[in-house]
Amino acid sequence: MSPVIATVILVAVAITVAVSVAFWMGGITGQYTRFEKLQVQDPLTTHEANGNWTLIFIVKNVGSTDATVDSVFINGKTPSQWPSSSIVANITSSGVTISSGNQAAIKVSIDDDNSGLSSGTAIEVKFRTASGYEYPKMVTLP
């Protein structure tokens, strides 16, 4: 085989390997650069006739991967840590999964008799995702 043909074959193999490595690295980079980011809008808050508060949060996923909200905290405590079901959230045991670019409504109900909270009180509502990120929102009860 002549040196020219050998050089052409060697260059073709090198280019093929370089293109393959570039595609492989692009796939790895795309896999590791996905991120989770939620935007929690100010809630629609109502003070019901029975004295309870209802807070409806619109949570939008502006990240590049799906996010699952698996718990909510009111002033640093989960609903089960409050007295006798005074706080209830519509988050199931498997969480609320929000696809990238979509939004979900999360409802939090607060019983004013058992919670010890009152109108005009500022509370911190924090949403935690399955990956451990937390998204707080300050709310003043009406």
pLDDT at 124: 96
Per DSSP bridges, beta strands 122-129 and 134-140 are antiparallel
**Cα angle for residues 92, 96, 97 (degrees, 5° grid):** 145
Q: Do the Cβ atoms of 130 and 96 come closer than 8 Å?
A: no
Residues 125 and 57: their CA atoms lie apart, in Å, by 10
**Looking at residues 101-105, what average pLDDT do you find?**
95
Quote the pLDDT of residue 105: 95
At 89 the pLDDT is: 85
CATH class of 38-140: mainly beta
Does the pLDDT value for residue 44 go beyond 80? Answer: yes
Please tell me what DSSP assigns to residue 65: S
Rounded-to-integer distance, Cα 111 and Cα 54, Å = 9
Eight-class DSSP state of 83: G
Instruction: Please indicate whether residue 60 or residue 87 has the higher confidence score (pLDDT).
Output: 60
Question: Is the Cβ–Cβ distance between 51 and 113 less than 8 Å?
Answer: yes
Note the pLDDT tens digit of each residue in 113-129. 777 888 899 999 999 99
